[in-house]
């Protein structure tokens, strides 16, 4: 997470400096930008997804090895007033996680090293509906908080796959529901509005699908498995 925060800080410093570094006067960029009832844009960003796993029995936890993923999508914004907006942000989210098991899960069984890991590559069509609550604009900056719910379709879920972990396939549910909370800051530049933001996403559904064998070492001790993670998005409007 530290590289992401460093990148965010550098972008904030650079963009704010671009607007005001070479003048003593506080120039107001795009003064009427937020007056439009409807506005549009797009975003690019990064994600880091994890799993929150609840267990049936108290044994060694399954380790989740996380990787940085990528987000891209569109934004539709409806202005309510100077402080409240409603946003729809459909996008594509790509993530990669690996479940790492200890040998205790296979006690009494014959297994290979490859059986101790299950790679889960996920490609989501992610659609959040959010409420954005902003502060009063100060010069060319306006901080905000955002929250709401989202639905996601996991195109890589393997939900309907007739194979399971005995053939190396860890199946997840295709549809999911999240709640989201985040913070960010609108930065008004000469020609457009740039918005870096941080957001946490938290699944409200159990995502794992049990193997056909009720004694499967991969799923028998999992009670619930829910996605959690965070986004760093850079929005252009």
What one-character-per-residue DSSP string does 22-64 give? T-SS----STTGGG-SEEEEEEEEEEEEEEEEEESS--PPPEE
Beta strands in the chain (DSSP E): 38-55, 63-66, 68-79, 84-88, 91-100, 117-134, 141-154, 175-188, 193-203, 222-236
What's residue 108's pLDDT?
Answer: 85
Element (H, E) at 5: helix 2-20
Report, as ranges of residue numbers, the positions in the chain whose pLDDT lies below 50. Answer: 2-10, 12-23
Residue 28: the pLDDT is 82
User: Coil, helix or strand for 115?
Assistant: helix
Query: According to the model, what pLDDT value does residue 25 have?
Result: 57
pTM (two decimals): 0.82
Of 135, 141, 134, 151, nearest to 205 by C-alpha is 151
Whether 125 and 95 have beta carbons less than 8 Å apart is answered as: no
| pLDDT for the residue 107 | 87
Q: What pLDDT is attached to residue 152? A: 96
Contacts of 211 (CB under 8 A, 6+ apart): 164, 165, 166, 218, 219, 220
Contacts with 192 (C-beta within 8 Å, 6 or more apart), sequence order: 30, 236, 237
b/e sequence 158-196, b meaning 16+ C-beta within 10 Å:
beeeeebbeeeebbbbbebebebebebbbbbeeeebbbb
The token pair at 90 is 């459909």
Domain count across the chain: 1
Q: What pLDDT score does 26 carry?
A: 67
C-alpha 63/C-alpha 58 separation (Å) is 14
Structure tokens at 146: 């955002």
- Expressed as residue numbers, the domain containing 226 is 2-236
Domain containing residue 226: CATH number: 2.40.160.20
Q: Is 173 helix (H, G, I), strand (E, B) or coil?
A: coil
What are the tens digits of pLDDT across the range 47-79?
A: 999 999 999 988 889 999 999 999 999 999 999
Of 141, 94, 96, 86, whose CA–CA distance to 118 is shortest?
96
């Amino acid at each position: 997470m530290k590289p992401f925060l460093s990148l965010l800080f550098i972008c904030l410093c650079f963009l704010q400096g671009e607007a005001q570094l070479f003048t003593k006067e506080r120039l107001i960029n795009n003064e009427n930008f937020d007056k439009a009832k409807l506005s549009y844009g797009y975003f690019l960003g990064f994600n880091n997804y994890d799993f929150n796993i609840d267990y049936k029995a108290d044994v060694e936890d399954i380790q989740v090895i996380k990787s940085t993923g990528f987000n891209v999508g569109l934004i539709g914004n409806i202005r309510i007033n100077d402080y409240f907006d409603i946003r729809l942000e459909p996008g594509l989210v790509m993530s990669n996680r690996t479940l790492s098991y200890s040998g205790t899960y296979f006690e009494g069984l014959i297994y290979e090293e490859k059986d101790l890991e299950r790679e889960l590559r996920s490609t989501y069509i992610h659609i959040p509906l959010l409420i954005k609550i902003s502060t009063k604009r100060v010069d060319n900056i306006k901080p905000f908080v955002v929250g709401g719910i989202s639905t996601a379709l996991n195109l890589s879920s393997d939900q309907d796959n007739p194979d399971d972990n005995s053939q190396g396939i860890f199946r997840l549910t295709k549809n999911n529901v999240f709640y989201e909370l985040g913070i960010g800051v609108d930065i008004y530049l000469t020609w457009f509005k740039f918005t870096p933001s941080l957001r946490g996403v938290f699944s409200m559904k159990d995502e794992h699908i049990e193997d056909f064998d009720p004694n499967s070492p991969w799923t028998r001790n999992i009670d619930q498995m829910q996605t959690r993670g965070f986004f760093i998005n850079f929005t252009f409007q």
